[in-house]
Chains A and B, each alone.
Chain A
Amino acid sequence: MKRLVLRDLSKTYFDPYAGAHVTAVQEVSLEVQQGEFVSIVGPSGCGKTTLLNMIAGFIPASGGEILLDGRAVDGPGPERGVVFQSFALFPWKTVLDNVAFGPKIRGLSKAECERIAREYLALAGLAHAADRYPNELSGGMQQRVGVVRALANNPDVLLMDEPFASVDAQTRMTLQEELTRIWQERRPTIIFITHDVGEAVFLANRVVVLSKGRILKEIAVPLPRPRAWDLLTEDAAFKALSGQVLQLVRSA
């Protein structure tokens, strides 16, 4: 079992405008089991993106440790895939080459890279767009590419930083449903950052509410799968859970 463990993780940095040290993340401890889908939700400025950037290895922690499969995280690595809010696709690569990038870096043969990329593109319903460039796609399609590009590299953990925040509301619901479907099929470990309470509950097995850099509460989401917005919008259990999380976030 490849577990992700955060132990007393902290991040302080110097804010030149305030002229003081600011604590963005404070002694966060969290365990994520293999195959789990965890949402981290909180208002803007609660430190959720800082937390994700530390797990991804983009910024160093000020204190505490991050262990993946028992090994300390030091810098970015392919075992932790990242999906960005801004998609961060390579504009000069076709959709196929974007998705094949991870396997290519791993040194797989050209044919093998293409086979993997096509398989994952099909998973996201993007087989027809393989030869297009990212700027020729809609935002929703670009983020589908962003998700499968990370998945195609077969990471131990998939880190998603408000990935659906910059697409329109209808597309967002479709993407959320697709993500739950893909999760059920492939069972990747996912840490999903969002400020949207409904999204956090809809997607995850467990919702972690973050406030002022600390974990306020962890809430299990035992809703049945497959999940679909048509069914859940009026579902009493979903509404109760969302209400509970919303209250926590607003009190934060």
Chain B
Amino acid sequence: MTPLLKAWSLYARWTARYPAVRSIVPFIPLVALWAIVAESELFPRAFFPGPLDVVRSFGTLVYKGILPDYLEDSIVRLAVGTAAGIALGIPLGVLVGLSPRAHALLWPILLFFQAIGDIAWLPILLIWFGFSLTTMTIVIVYTVLFPVVLNTALGVRSVPLELHRAAQSLGASRARIVWEVVLPGALPNIMTGLRNGLGYGWRALIAAEIIVGTSGIGFLMFDARRAGSVVEILLGMIVLGLLWYIVDGWVLAPIERATGERWGLVTR
């Protein structure tokens, strides 16, 4: 009993000092299980490599400079696509959320095009723009756009009428109300849209990279398939998961903590 207790108190102390530990610990049994299955040679090694093989391959690919290059390509594509998606999506969402006329006009169109999944656009985009960066960017923008627009509109409509009235009777103009009341009030929903959009965008990017295929993490994985390198495919998958973890932990969650949660709009 004592060693268990000791381990627990150690864990408690470490998570208190380094919160990051908390997000690493759950993976320990997972990785251990993976290692055990791999070491047991239940499956041929080439089909089911262990964690160490993946780490080794990580080292090699970083050393050769392939992984950093591809990673950069993927991240830049996602960042550019997301930025464009946000720049288009938030104003559109505010418009649809505020104006009943714009809502009546645009909502059916938005729903229609939302249903045509990002990847469903690839065939026609490939004909129009070929295997190019344009194709990939359009797919990502498209994917990010809808969750952002729909959630922004929802957030705009959820701002209580009283807050509009309070701002009006303090002398605020319409434009001022959008900036000071509507946008901050809709921010928790906008963040949800962004979170979904980024998640979908990330997936769409991998799919686009597999099909368009010149560089990037998706290309890395698909290329590895051609070479029959399960290690590299696994590595690609792990990189995807880790990257999302980083985006969530270093970008999205801090914004949410500093805004909606701080303001009491979202309960933790």
Contact = CB atoms under 8 A, between A and B. Distances in A.
Interface in A10-67: 56-58
B170 A78 contact: yes
Interface in B66-95: none
Contact of A149 (B170, B187, B259): B170
B180 A91 contact: no
Interface string A143-154: 000000110010
Interface in B214-268: 259, 262-265
B63 to A, nearest CB: 48
B141 interface: no
A91 B166 CA distance: 12
Given A56-B165, A56-B169, A77-B171, A135 B160 contact: no
A102 interface: yes
A77 B263 contact: no
A133 interface: yes
Nearest to A56: B169
Interface string A122-136: 000000000001111
A88 B169 CA distance: 12
Given A86-B162, A88-B162, A90-B163, A101 B180 contact: yes
Contacts of A153: 170-171
Given A88-B160, A91-B265, A105 B170 contact: yes
B172 A105 contact: yes
B169 A90 contact: no
The DSSP consensus for interface residues of chain B is: helix
Contacts of B163: 88, 90
Given A58-B165, A84-B165, A90-B163, A102 B262 contact: no
B168 to A, nearest CB: 4
Interface residues of A, number: 29
B265 to A, nearest CB: 6
Contacts of B259: 92
B184 interface: yes
B205 interface: no
B264 A76 contact: no
B49 interface: no
A57 to B, nearest CB: 8
A217 B166 CA distance: 30
A81 interface: yes
A117 interface: no
The DSSP consensus for interface residues of chain A is: loop
Contacts of A80: 169
Nearest to A107: B171
A106 interface: yes
A133 B160 contact: no
A53 B69 CA distance: 62
Contacts of B160: 86, 88
A82 interface: yes
Contacts of A78: 169-171
Interface in B148-198: 160, 162-163, 165-172, 176, 180-181, 184-185, 187
Contacts of B169: 56-58, 76-78, 80-82, 150, 159
Contact of B165 (A82, A102, A149): A82
B165 A133 contact: no
Nearest to A149: B170
Contacts of B171: 77-78, 102, 105-106, 153
A31 B95 CA distance: 41
Contacts of A82: 165-166, 169
A77 B262 CA distance: 30
Given A102-B170, A133-B263, A134-B264, A90 B181 contact: yes
Nearest to B163: A88
B184 A133 contact: no
Which residue of A77, A78, A90 has the most chain B CB atoms within 10 A of its CB atom?
A90
Q: Which 8 A-B pairs have the closest CB atoms?
A: A135-B264, A78-B171, A76-B168, A88-B162, A92-B184, A88-B166, A91-B263, A102-B170
Interface of A: 56-58, 75-78, 80-82, 84, 86, 88-92, 101-102, 105-106, 133-136, 149-150, 153, 159
12 contacts: A57-B168, A76-B165, A76-B168, A76-B169, A80-B169, A82-B166, A91-B185, A91-B263, A92-B187, A102-B171, A105-B172, A150-B169
